[in-house]
Structure 1
Amino acid sequence: MLAVIQTVENGYEVRFERHLKHSVEKVWSWLTDNAKLAKWFSELSVDDLREGGVIKFDMQDGTFEEMEILELKLHEVLEFTWGEDRVRFELYPEPSGCRLVLKEKLTKVTAHTPRDIAGWDVCLDVIEALLDGRVIESRKDIWQVKYEQYVQAFENITKDYPR
């Protein structure tokens, strides 16, 4: 299921939701432990896990973009800057595990936006598979299908979508 994309004040919000069969604590570790984080988003690393701390994005050219942690509540919320945007993970306990919500607040939609959103969608699939002890054979194939769906979704939601 695709993320929900909504127009909000000063931009757009993309909201993903996954119901996972694992505890909040276990899922949290996949979001904040660098060894686990590297298995689903190898360019990200937590440098300083605290409000005001830093998450680094490896640009793969020897440089790093630093993203500030805006909100941190242990096992509940991790929100950080993402360029001009914001990424927010929320965890909610459920009887059979937890609910993971990922929100990205976009200030504008660009031609690159569907690529990023498809990437987040695949990342969430990979986290779930890793938690369940499964392997996703081809992230690229899954990403390609989702990318095409998100291109259409953004075309439908904004008249300003760059073609």
Structure 2
Amino acid sequence: MSPVSHGTSESRGEDRRLLRFEPHLPHAYETIWPALTTPDGLRGWLAEADVLERHLGGAVTLRGADGGPELSGQVTAWDVERVVEYTLTGLGRIRFHLEPVGTDSTVIRFSHEYTPNQPGLGLDRPGSAGGRAADADHLAGWHRRFELLESALEGHPAAPPARADQRLAALRASYTPPAAAA
């Protein structure tokens, strides 16, 4: 599995955060699109899609495979084989923008705009503090999800591991800001 580059976070005002990732995957966009936009594809790396109406304005309900909350909303962007965006109550807005690189590689320009302390889809564990401290959990969760996506695209879909997963713990540590010097 090739490494997923670390994501970034930024403030979008007092009560909003924006996370970004740009994983570069060795798969054609035609292979990646179904993993982002179909119930079977999402199940292999992100969540159960109890409802997924695949069009702009369509209803969507995702449920974390490891006991995460059920999150409902709608498809707020849809450009076939290029852009999909889900806006979910309790999670915020998640957007996947596919950019082909040649014929067998794709960059996913991913963003997640959210309000700190909202639930995630099971791997992240939002902290009680806002800003970068809360971001560490969300960044680690998304980083792990993109590793699971890569694994699913390689033919090894799996239910996301439990929160005690050692890899997730290591990712959380890598995203946790250092303690301020006294």
State whether TM-score is above 0.5.
yes
What is the distance in 1 between the residues matched to 2:52 and 2:144?
24
Q: What displacement does 1:121 show?
A: 1.1
Aligned residues: 153
Q: What displacement does 1:102 show?
A: 1.3
Q: Output one character per residue of 1:36-91: Cα deviation in whole Å (capped at 9) or x when no partner.
A: 21111233445211111122122648x83312111111111111113262111110
What is the distance in 2 between the residues matched to 1:45 and 1:103?
23
Q: Does 1:15 align with 2:40?
A: no
Q: What displacement does 1:123 show?
A: 1.0
What is the distance in 2 between the residues matched to 1:68 and 1:135?
25
> Scaled by the length of structure 1, what TM-score is found?
0.78
Q: 5+ residue gaps in structure 1?
A: 157-163
Structure whose residues are more often helix by fraction: 1
- 2:36 corresponds, among 6, 11, 31, to 31
Deviating 4+ runs (over 3 angstroms) = 42-46, 107-110, 133-136
Residue matched to 1:70:
76
Q: 5+ residue gaps in structure 2?
A: 118-125, 128-133
Structure whose residues are more often strand by fraction: 1
Q: Does 1:103 align with 2:111?
A: yes
Amino acid at match of 1:97: S
RMSD: 2.8
Residue matched to 1:130:
152
Amino acid at match of 2:168: W
Q: Does 1:57 align with 2:62?
A: yes
What is the distance in 1 between the residues matched to 2:28 and 2:37?
15
Amino acid at match of 1:87: I
SS at match of 1:51: coil
